[in-house]
Structure 1
Amino acid sequence: MTFGRFAYNNIIRNFRAYLAYFLSSIFSIMIFFVFAVSMFHPIITDSGIQSGSTAFMALMISELIILGFSLLFILYSLGNFLKSRLRDFGVMIIIGMSNKQLKRLILIENLIIGLLAIMLGILLGLSISKLFLLYLGKIFYMNLTESYFPIKAILMTIISFMLLFLITGPLSLKLLNKNNIFELLVGTKKPKKDIKPSKLFGILGILCLMTGYAMMLFVNKLNINGDMYMIALLITLGMFLFFSQFTILILKHMKNREKFYKNKINMLLIGNLVYKMKDNSRLLFLMTILLSGTLVAFTTTSTLVTSQGKSSKNNFPMVYSYFSEDNNNKKYEDLEEIRNTIKEYDYKELSFPMLEYNNEVLLSMSNYNKLSKQLGLDKINLRIDEGIIVPRYNSKEHINSLKEIKAYKIKNVNIKIKESTDRIIFPTGMFSKIIVIHDNLYNNIQSKFSKINFHGFDYENWQDSADITEALKEKHFNLDRNDMKSYFLTLPDMYLAELQQSKILQFMGIFIGVILFMAVLSFLYFRLYTDEPFDKVKYNNLSKIGLSFKNMNKIVSIEIGILFFVPFIIAIVNSIFSLLFLNSVLNNSFNLKNWGILLVLSCIYSLYFHLLKKFYIRKVWFFD
């Protein structure tokens, strides 16, 4: 028998152990390949979506995330697989296999699995790439149904993952260098040391979590850019200490309650949990991070497209906004063209002058109230020396910064700022300052300023007017016009641009969420597979001294349930607080669709729990 044949036979004999690793590798390769097919599609590369564009960068970032995560995942899964085979390796060394031959065997096995996974991943990717391109075509507004042979994508996938499998092999071998023959033969059955968790670190973990969540709730009082990192650090540290210290403290406390501890199966259950929580603390922490990423990716990106219309309208209050200098003779022709273009819509038109100096504008209280009525905002009342500052952006950080302004001076005109409003009235970012003043003050100082005339057009179903808006701008308001005495800004244009970005983000979020979710399911399988031989011997011995199937089923269900659902519940809490945080920052609302996504993922996760639990119980109870 050749050495390669021996490696192949090992794979066949341990196929169930390799199955999750193999299938997860295939899935990662398939997703990577499908993204590569999209990146190198001739219509995309010939359409201007080149390096540096948002669309291209989205695909490239997704590729790098998939590849980087695949490296970590393969390292973890291969490490778990090798741990489960330590005893086999010890036997091989005893019967004469050298360390060099053992390492060579592991590398060959890894390469065989890698080659098979790459081939099947590419074949599956080819079979679904058509559907993927149809979906991508809707995002980029392109027809991507034209077939082509993705030779670049195939080569990129083969090279990337062959390098990845070559890297993971030597890294995983470091595990064997730390074990002598006795440790290899003992494998995962080594006696476990008693655990001494720290009360200080356990309480600190809870405090970190509570502080992080509180900071998310009171986001309006925070410096968002600076405190986001602190929130992430606190919650991450809190979760790590929760699993590594606090959970063991709780179990130790339950163990010290003698009456409770000696009641029925509690002694066996709690004793198992104390040591399993220590073994699994890092896994539980990692699963919580991945599940939090999964839930946040799905819930936040799933509503981006459906809520984009509302979001764009918040940033662009009027459908059409036309600004013109007072001496612009062409404005009458421009306005007439706009009216003729949207005459089929039941539009409302508002117009008024403003005073301008150095891109700062003043408008009268009466004109502001006229506009606020159309936009559904509150009217204002001012004294002659008072003014109100209007935000240029809808962000909470910008609005809060305006509240600190108490006085304003422009061209020797002093204005006492009464307050600031909380909604924009012009397209986002327009002008450097927007101040509302009393009508009498406006009339008294208007001779000192130049004037800008604003004309706003508003109507329903504006999403349907994208084509006529584009034609109108190309024909009459292109940037090559020499006068530059007017500005024509349209909501449909902004909406289409933001909608494409939202679709790209949704596209990335869904696929990255799927990959993270699949990783969690695979990690759970590997954990149970590693525990199976030890648990099988344990329950076999316990059955001989009277442990019933009913009690064993209850113990295993609780143990696996904790492994499954403690990280999931914390991940749900993390995702809810993340959504509340993002909704507060972005002025959105937590809606039924978010809850629906959490419910669907919970059902899938629970179904996997019941299937894996049933499979595991059959393995550990029905002894060979």
Structure 2
Amino acid sequence: MSFRQFVFRNVIRNKRTYSAYFLSSSFSVLIFFVYALFIFHPDIKKGVTAATAVQLMTAAEVIMYVFSFLFVFYSVSTFLKTRKREFGILIMHGMTRGQLVRMVFLENMIIGIGAIILGIMMGIITGKLFLMIGSNMLGIKSLPFYLSPKALCLTIIAFFVLFFCISLFTTILVQVNKLIDLFQSGEKPKKAPKVSIILSLLSAILLFVSYYLAATTTLKTILFRILPVIGMTIIGTYFFYTQLSVFIIKLLQKNRLIFWKKTNIVTISSLAYRLKDNANMFFMVTIVSTVAFCAIGTLASSNAVNREIKTDYPATVSYIAQDHNPIHEQHLREIKEEFNKRNLSYKSTNVAIKVVKVHDNSQEKPKLQIDQFPVISFSSYKKMSKLAGFDVDEKALVGNEARLMLASHLKIDLKPQSYTIQQGNITLDHLQSTKNIVFPYEMILSEGLVVSDELFRKLKPVKTEMYTGFYTKSLPETAGMASNLVEKGMAFPNEKNTYSMIVSGTLYANQMSMYKMMLFVALLVGLVFFVAAGSFLYFRLYSDLEYDTRQYLTIKKIGLTDRELNSIVTRQMALLFFVPIVVAFVHSIFAFIALQTFYTVSIVRETVIVLACFFIAQLLYFFIIRSRYLRNLKKSLI
């Protein structure tokens, strides 16, 4: 048997240990290759959507490649630490350090090349499916399968270089110690885990403060808090696993009612060592899982865009004529004709808008600052709210009463305002905001006034504009309407025209296209992260199989039953699998609470769906691995 054959058979013999690492690497190659198929596909036009999609996927390629490098390096380094006994046997039989280094290098390259081949083969098989899903989510025409030579070469070269560099670098980590140390590496009794009360308290404080800051953040403070919160969460999580968790286990050991109950003495005692030994792995799994949950959950919340657009853009088509030019009547006729051509039923209304000069009496701004505000009557506001399907149960305005009409994102932390209308020197104090938004905020410069009908009639405006709103329940079906009058769904006055116009359906289609694009990219990258996190747990579990076998064999000699063995292993595996996931869930929940500040509608439903899907996937993975692990453990105990 040649040296190369020996290396190849050595990889095959360790297939159980290497399987999760191999499959995770193959999955990374698969997703990288799929992105490359999109990037180099000849039918992707150079439009705005396609160009943005290519940029996002290119960024995803870079992120995934860097992550794959770290994942492979960590995995290989872990495997080397668990193979010291094997290295000792080989050295005892005459293997030199040079041969040992060469063996490790070739083994890594065999696994790497195998992962590249399998990943590309799976990419070719499933490429058409990914292209269909991706083109549908990106809102472009269906892309036929095209095996791009550039995509193929990029994937092969990128991952060959990755595995070659990792294999070359890890040979430096191969240490040939004394034979006695190599043979006893897995048999030396583990030292009792030590814990620092100060670092344990620091972990609890950092996590509590970061959660508090995330839960109490606002739209104004989120940009200032995001980096400190991320930093404190990362440091707090690391000390949670290395210090605080072990401290909690030691407290449980002192509780006789819990510690001495049935097999808890074995479970809890072993858990303290496992948490300390696997602290780095738990930390990595938690951070990687949190990134995956937040990336996918954030973009899954794009479903809230539909509800938010209906709030901020109540009319399907909004048109404001700023003068009495006959061209405006022609535009309105064209809009009505297009509604009819699309067989869309609609209702419309005309509302007069008076533009008046207003002094802002707020202390936060310089006094006597003059702005022009659009003003409508309360009866017009109520009519428009009803057509938009909003709640119209709002107290009527009388006399000099008025309310501010603000975009939803401007109502946050709103303080009572005070304005003076220049015409008539009318002061409006303690203004509250209206319940509803009846104009798109871009058309009224984010701020407007609703006054009583009596006051509206008295006002002498700087100018009068005419608003026409078209209302329909079929918002998505109006996408692209009046494309000759608007660009990307919006048009504002300039040297050529004297009208403002917004088509909500077009804005909705553009936003959803962007969100779907980002969701598609984040979903695949998030899945790579999640699969990698599962792999960390898998090979960490199997690297401890030999030690666990000796431990359980000793306990079995004093009467441990199969049922008790199943119970102990299930508890320890459940903690191994679910502690980092639960911590990642908690991190993600507070991240979503902070994210909620960007939306005026709730994203709870989207958050729950994403976290539930990940939990179910982790639960299935746990039962599969538990079954295999128990089977292998019982074989070793025979």
TM over 0.5: yes
Q: How far off is 1:227 after superposition?
A: 2.0
Confirm whether residue 454 of structure 1 aligns to residue 460 of structure 2. no
SS at match of 1:249: helix
Q: Is the 8 A contact 1:350 1:455 kept in 2?
A: yes
**Is the 8 Å Cα contact of residues 398 and 454 (structure 2) preserved in structure 1?**
no
| Structure 1 pair 415–54 and aligned structure 2 pair: CA distance change class (3 A) | farther
1:104-503 correspondence runs (5 A): 104-177=102-175, 181-220=179-218, 223-258=221-256, 260-302=258-300, 304-305=302-303, 307-343=304-340, 344=343, 345-355=345-355, 360-366=372-378, 367-375=380-388, 376=390, 379=394, 387-392=402-407, 394-395=408-409, 398-400=410-412, 402-403=414-415, 405-407=417-419, 415-421=428-434, 423-432=436-445, 434-436=447-449, 438=451, 446-447=460-461, 449-470=462-483, 483-503=496-516
Identity %: 29
Give the counterpart of 1:511 among 509, 524, 534: 524
The residue type equivalent to 2:307 in the other structure is K
Q: Secondary structure at the match of 1:187?
A: coil
CA contact (8 A) 1:39 1:56 kept: yes
Q: Deviations over 1:179-231 (max 9, x none)?
A: 55544333344432222212333233334333333334334486122123333
Residue 410 of structure 1: how far off its partner (Å): 6.6
Alpha carbons of structure 1 residues 434 and 508: separation in structure 2 relative to 1, 3 Å: same
- Is the 1:365–1:380 Cα contact (8 Å) retained in structure 2? no
Specify the alignment match of 1:31 in structure 2.
31
Alpha carbons of structure 1 residues 142 and 434: separation in structure 2 relative to 1, 3 Å: closer
Match status 1:544 vs 2:557: yes
The CA distance in 2 between the partners of 1:501 and 1:507, in whole Å, is 10
Q: What is the aligned partner in structure 2 of residue 102 from structure 1?
A: 100
Cα distance in 2 between the residues matched to 1:494 and 1:48:
14
Unaligned runs of 5+ in 2: 358-369
Answering whether residue 30 of structure 2 is matched by residue 15 of structure 1, we say no
Unaligned residue ranges in structure 1 (runs of 5+): none
TM-score computed with the length of structure 2 as normaliser: 0.87
Per-residue displacement from partner, 1:60-88 (whole Å, max 9, x unpaired)? 12212221221121112212221221222
Q: How big is the shift at 1:154?
A: 0.4
| Alpha-carbon spacing, 1:368–1:21, altered in 2? closer, same or farther (3 Å) | same
- Asked if 1 retains the 8 angstrom alpha-carbon contact of 2:478 and 2:506, the reply is no
The Cα of 1:480 is off from its aligned counterpart by 12
Q: Is the 8 A contact 1:43 1:144 kept in 2?
A: no
| Larger helix fraction of residues | 1
Residue number among 572, 577, 581 corresponding to 1:559 in the alignment: 572
Tell me the distance in 1 between the aligned counterparts of 2:138 and 2:233: 37
| Greater mean alpha carbon deviation, residues 316-325 or residues 182-191 | 182-191
Give the structure-1-normalised TM-score: 0.89
SS of the aligned residue for 1:451 comes to: strand
Change (3 A) 1:491 1:200: same
2-structure distance, mates of 1:465, 1:409: 38
1:522 maps to 535
CA distance, structure 2, for counterparts of residue 409 and residue 163 of structure 1? 70
The one-letter amino acid of 1:249's match is: F
Matched, 1:572 2:569: no
Alignment CA distance shift 1:321-1:132 (3 Å):
same
Q: 1:230 to 1:421 in 2, by over 3 A?
A: farther
Give distance in 2, aligned partners of 1:401 and 1:108. Answer: 63
Aligned AA for 1:388?
Answer: R
Q: Which amino acid aligns with 2:281?
A: L
SS in 2 for 1:488: strand
User: Secondary structure at 1:43's aligned position in 2?
Assistant: coil
Give the residue type in structure 2 aligned to 1:516: F
Letter in 2 for 1:23: L
- Following TM superposition, by how much is the alpha carbon of 1:279 offset from its aligned partner in structure 2, in angstroms? 0.7
The total of aligned residue pairs comes to 616
Question: For residue 67 of structure 1, what is the aligned residue in structure 2?
Answer: 65
Aligned-residue RMSD, C-alpha:
3.2
Deviation at 1:349, TM superposition (A): 1.9
**For residues 3 and 70 of structure 1, what CA distance do their matches in structure 2 show?**
29
- The answer as to whether partners of 1:38 and 1:133 remain within 8 angstroms in 2 is yes
* Shift in CA distance, 258/466, structure 1 to aligned 2, threshold 3 Å: closer
Cα deviation for residue 95 of structure 1 reads 3.8
1:299: how far off? 4.0
2:479–2:505 CA contact under 8 A, matched in 1? yes
3-state DSSP of counterpart to 1:342: helix
